[in-house]
Structures are given as C-alpha cells and as structure tokens.
Amino acid sequence: MPPARRRPAAGLSALDLDQVILAPLVLVRGGEGLLVDRAVSHLQALASERDPNVEVTRLEAAAYESGQLDMVASPSLFGENRHIVVSGVESATDAFIEDGLAYVARLSPELDDVTVVLRHEKGVRGKKLLDAIAAAGLPVVACEPIKRDADKVAFAAAEFRKAGRRVSGPAVQALVEAVGSDLRELGAACTQLIADTTSAITPDVVQRYYGGRVEATGFKVADTAIEGRGGQAVTLLRHALSTGVDPVLLVAALASKLRVLAKVAAMRGRGASAPTDLGLAPWQIDRARRELDGWSPEGLARAITAVATADAEVKGAGRDAEFAVERAVLRVAQARGER
C-alpha cells in the first residue's frame, strides 16, 4: 500500500526545515548559501533515512548534456532508491531546461523511488522550468538572503533554541553585531559557541569569543559620528579600515548622511511638507528628523566643510587618506552640539 499522499504547500521557508519533506522533485531557490546548503543536506538526510542504500548522484546543470537526467533517473538493477541533486540551475544549459521540463511534465505526484533536488541560487535563468515546477504544485523552498538585523537576531536565537541552549537577548544582539555581515559566518559562530560552552550563553561569553571583532560599514561609522559619539565612531572607523573598507566610501557615506540632514533641516525651516521634492524616502526623513536633534545650522555647515576637505585629501590632496577620514569623523562628531 502506497504511503498516504501528503502534498506540501509550495513556498516553504528554509528557516523551518521541519516543514521541508521529501517529494519527487524539490526546488531550493534563493541567494542565501547557508540556507540552501542546509535545505539540500536536510533533504538528502531524509532520503537516506527512507532507504539507507539510496544512490546519490550530483549533476552540474551548467555542464549538463542532453539525456543525462533520464540516464541517472532510470530504474536500477538492484532496485535501490535514487536521489539526484542538481546544482547551478541558475546557469543551466538549454539542454537541461528542456529535459527538466519534460521530466516535470511526466512526473507522478506520488513519492516514487527517484527524488530530485534542484538548486537555483540567483537570477531568473530557466524561468520556464521554475514556473512549471511551481505550477505542478511541487514544493519550492525559499532561501531569500537575510538582510535585516532583526531577522539575523531571530535566526541566531533559533540556532541556539534548536540546540536546546539558553541564550540571553543581549548576547544574541552582540553576536550579530560582531559577525552578522555574513549568515554563514554567523551560523558557524553559533555552532562554535554551542560546541565550546556548557552553560547559558551570556553577553560575557560572546565578548570572550568575539569581543575583538566589530563589523563596521561606512554607514555605521557615519551614523555614530552624526550622533556625536566621536570616540566610538573612531573605533568603528578603524575596524572598517582594517577590514578593507575604502576611505573614499567612508567619506561618501558621511557626505550622504549630512546631505539628508541638511535637506530635511531646510524643509523644516520652511515649514513645508513636500518630502517628494527632496528625493528622499519617508523613513529617511523620519530618521533624519530624529537625528537632527542637537544639530545647529552652523554645526552642519562645519561638518559639510570638513567632509569636503577630507574627500579632497583622500583623493590625493593629503598625505594620509586614513588620517583624513579620521579627522573628518572627529570633526563631524564635534560639530554636533556646536552653536
């Protein structure tokens, strides 16, 4: 008797792997490498759970030649299950798309002895095939890049929860600040903390392991400087410089922040409420309004002048580009609160 048919809803999230179950064909789609890897190995684990003798075949869609899929999916002599992982569907050859479409078209919805996993990491190449998969009601696992800090915090917290470990909110926050720019790195850091420590994970623990590291981008430096926290801004700046952020970009970030502040200040000065004229998004304006506290027109003028000087120095007028940016950051931080 065939197993009860369960048809999973299309559009699963890779964040919750319990939902992801084996199907005749599963499409794993999205740009977050870590999640894609996890979903693919989760499916492979399910396949070998089902049949310990499963034969796993890997295909590279970019180098696919006509007929390969049928060859590896055809019945085997000893009747064991077959699990086929096709990677690089985003740069597949035309032959693969053709064969894939034909394969999807004659696929029976029942779980058979062949399971196929397709990895499609970016772009819309092979859209016809992707659409056909979705239309056939086959499961699609979404692995969209995690960009917002809040989502990263949720991801890290889930990692610890899965391992059955208690972790405090500030500790997760500190971890994301330290290694949050790359999800793979964040995942690895969570794994390491889980493996290396025994009790609950506190900010102290995170500090002990990742205390020296801060991921600083140009905009983070600029934000801190504009809040008037000079010392902290310089610390971030040094981190940014030593992790390879270009001084030119740092100056550009400062300049664009100040530009928004000045524009919003001008709008406020006129009492007009036509934000569309400024070419700014509403959240930018809200944020700038909050940040404008403590800024006088004179201070803004001084900050803009300092940043312009730094840009010239970074581009060759000064001797040391890093010193020029550092001085600009300090001057901007000082300019806040000046009358």
Partner 1 sequence: MSLWDAVVGQEDVVAVLAEAVRNRGAMTHAWLITGPPGSGRSVAARVFAAALQAPDDVDGTSHDAQTALAGTHADVTVVRTEKSIINIDETRSLVSLAQRAPSQGRWRVIIVEDADRMTERTSNVLLKAIEEPPPRTVWLLCAPSPLDVATTIRSRCRSLNLQVPPARAVADLLVRRDGVDPDLALECALAAQSHIGMAKRLATHPDVRAYRARVLAIPGSIRGVGDAVLLAGDLVETATEQSKAATTERDAEEKVALLRGMGAVEGAALPPTLRAQLRQLEDDQKRRARRALIDVLDRAMIDLLSFYRDVLVVQLGSDVELVNTAAAGSIRAMAASSTPEQSVRRMHAIGETRTRLDGNVAPLLAMEAMTVALRPQG
Which residues would be at the binding site for partner 1 (CB under 8 A)? 251-252, 255, 259, 262-269, 278, 297-298, 300-301, 304-305, 307-309, 311-312, 315-317
Whether the Cβ atoms of residue 173 and residue 153 lie closer than 8 Å to each other? yes
Cα–Cα dist 188/47, whole Å:
25
Residue 249 CB, shortest distance to partner 1, in Å, is 11
Closer CB to partner 1, 136 or 285, in the complex: 285
Q: Which runs of consecutive H residues, i.e. helices, occur in the chain?
A: 33-50, 68-73, 94-105, 127-135, 149-162, 169-179, 183-196, 203-210, 218-226, 230-242, 247-270, 282-291, 297-312, 321-335
Please, which residue, 179 or 324, has the CB nearer to partner 1? Answer: 324
Residue type, 121: E
Sheet containing 55-60: give its strands across: 12-13, 140-142, 25-29, 114-120, 82-87, 55-60
Q: What is the DSSP letter of 10?
A: S
27 vs 251 by CB, closer to partner 1: 251
Based on CB atoms, which residue is closest to partner 1, 7 or 315? 315
Q: How far is the CB of 282 from partner 1 (least distance, A)?
A: 18
- Whichever of 14 and 310 has its CB closer to partner 1, that residue is 310
Neighbours of 4 (CB within 10 A): 5
Tokens encoding 317: 């007028």
Cβ closest to partner 1, residue 15 vs residue 307? 307
Q: Rounded to the nearest whole angstrom, what is the least distance from the CB of residue 207 to partner 1 in the complex? A: 38
Q: Please, what is the minimum distance in Å from the beta carbon of residue 322 to partner 1?
A: 17
Residues in the chain: 339
In whole angstroms, the minimum distance from the beta carbon of 247 to partner 1 comes to: 13
Q: How far is the CB of 253 from partner 1 (least distance, A)?
A: 11
227: which residues sit within 8 A by CB, 6+ positions away? 291, 336
Which residue's CB is nearer to partner 1, number 164 or number 279?
279
Q: Would you tell me the crossing angle of helices 321-335 and 297-312 to the nearest 10 degrees? A: 180
The answer to whether residues 42 and 17 touch, using CB atoms and an 8 Å cutoff, is yes
Give the shortest CB-296-to-partner 1 separation in angstroms.
Answer: 9
Q: How far apart are CA 240 and CA 166, in angstroms?
A: 32
Residue number with CB closer to partner 1 (80 or 298): 298
Q: How far is the CB of 328 from partner 1 (least distance, A)?
A: 11
